[in-house]
Amino acid sequence: MLALLVQPEPGTGSAGADARRAAEEIRARPDAEIAVFPELFLGGYRLEEPEALACDPAGEEIGAIAAACREAHTAALVGFIERGPLALYDSVACIDEDGELVVVYRKAQLFGAEADVFRAGSWLEVVELAGRRVAPLICFDVEFPELARAAAMAGADLLVTCAANMEPFGREHRLHVQARALENRVPHLYVNRSGAESGFRFVGESCAVDADGSVVAAAADGEQTLLVEVGTAGAADARVDYLSFEPTRMPVEVRSKSHSKGGSR
């Protein structure tokens, strides 16, 4: 699978304008089988005006991107503010290569002030896109091993994280992105935004990681795109195919100081 990773500078403040840019990027690289854009790509990371930037999943912004996917025969994952029936969500639209909006994934782990703006999602997704079983994650989600592990155990063979990771947390995501791939033996596409917006400095560093945790392509800071070949899932050595050794839930013994020198209870 050939993947297009789009690392932008801050958006225009217009969900419609950013949707048109996404469509242009997809049309410009019809050789890509899947295109990935960052968290809240449509409109930007602007928590102070969420209603003005919110999109209906069935609306014209997602529809414009879906049309480009259909023309280029390219699947896409695009971050946006979803206007739900009862709340706003930090979401990723998952569009297949036929231009069908297959699912909208809602961020489960909200970071900082996001919890004052959005409602957290209640479930994970594994969705078929371009012949792969893709598990979408959004930014802070990737810092929780349990989420990626649950998706991998459910059959995901590709992790895709759409991020808006900012200073001073660049080092954390560099480690988390590789770890989630290695510990699940699943390749991982990570796309982050760059530049400054809403008082934050985003760090870029989008990358593609193989199932052994090695980085096969990486961006630095600044606006750029990567076109990368996605690896396959699984371990070369069965002894470290971690999913096949998923442990049962273990009890935890908590020892107080009074028991530290004693024998058995």
Length reported for the chain: 265
18 contacts 49 by C-beta, under 8 angstroms: no
For the cut 80, the answer to whether the pLDDT of residue 7 exceeds it is yes
| Lowest-pLDDT range of 10-14, 24-28, 95-99 | 10-14
Catalytic (active-site) positions: 39, 107, 139
Express each pLDDT in 206-232 by its tens digit. 999 999 999 999 998 899 999 999 999
Torsion of CA 5, 11, 16, 21, to 10 degrees: -40
What are the φ/ψ torsions at residue 79 (nearest 5 degrees)?
Answer: -80, 140
Smallest CA-to-CA distance from 88 within 57, 66, 62 is with 57
Which pLDDT value is given to residue 13? 87
CB atoms within 10 A of CB 229: 12
For the cut 90, the answer to whether the pLDDT of residue 61 exceeds it is yes
Helix extents (H) in 9-59 = 15-28, 50-53
CA-to-CA dists, residue 165 to 3, 15, 49, 105, angstroms:
21, 20, 19, 18
For the cut 50, the answer to whether the pLDDT of residue 116 exceeds it is yes
Smallest CA-to-CA distance from 56 within 123, 101, 120, 21 is with 101
What are the φ/ψ torsions at residue 169 (nearest 5 degrees)?
Answer: -105, 20
What does the pLDDT average to over 84-110? Answer: 97
- Look up the CATH superfamily of 2-241: Carbon-nitrogen hydrolase (3.60.110.10)
Radius of gyration over every alpha carbon of the chain, rounded to an integer in angstroms: 19
Which pLDDT value is given to residue 264? 47
What are the φ/ψ torsions at residue 164 (nearest 5 degrees)?
Answer: -135, 65
For the cut 60, the answer to whether the pLDDT of residue 261 exceeds it is no
215, β-bridge pairs? 209
Confidence of residue 265 (pLDDT cuts 50, 70, 90): very low
Residue 235 token pair: 């371990």
Mean pLDDT for all residues in the chain: 94
- Which residues have C-beta within 8 Å of that of residue 56, sequence separation ≥ 6? 62, 83
pTM of the model: 0.94
Express each pLDDT in 163-208 by its tens digit. 999 999 999 999 999 999 999 999 999 999 999 998 999 999 999 9
- Which residues have C-beta within 8 Å of that of residue 88, sequence separation ≥ 6? 50, 51, 54, 81, 82, 117, 118, 119
Domain-wise residue ranges, the chain:
2-241
